[in-house]
Structure 1
């Protein structure tokens, strides 16, 4: 808060001067205070632009860095779990309805999907 003390003192001095001088000088006093405030803000912006420590009175914090994309291994795990979750019931249904041929078709389809997915992930 020591950073704000001169600005508060300027504001208090302006208010005291306004009481002493009356409303006739109000516009000039406000203009003078606004110029000092503007100069203070400009000095803070310049110090931040030139790499000095950020002001504790900054209006916002910088946004967090973007989240990392999943690695190829992460995508592969998702693909494997998804194919198992969907593949087990499909293999059961295919085997029950079409016998051994249905079982082979379902397993070949699951293997083909996993190979294609692994190849796509590897080419990223």
Structure 2
């Protein structure tokens, strides 16, 4: 996971440097490019996890379906969310001040909530369930 995080950090640094050099008119294209790279990294990591699960003879996603979840996946999602929060916060605050910052963080929290709900973090357990 460390190699993936380092690669994303390098990409973010390069994106921020390019924004400083090119100016705010290229901001949307730079952010789109960075998000696409993050998406590629996430998809690659999920494919690696799926292959590892198949090699071990378990169904891919079985841990998430049972509510256990994969620590690596959750940790990776948290890191990516925080890495993306930096430019999103800066863009939101630069264009719309506090309102833009609040909208950016509302979106970040919303995506995190949906991810947690899909991975079974908020599933209620009945008293008679084990």
Q: Same fold (TM over 0.5)?
A: no
Q: Which has the higher helix share?
A: 2
- The normalised TM-score by structure 2 is 0.41
What TM-score comes out, normalization by structure 1 length? 0.43
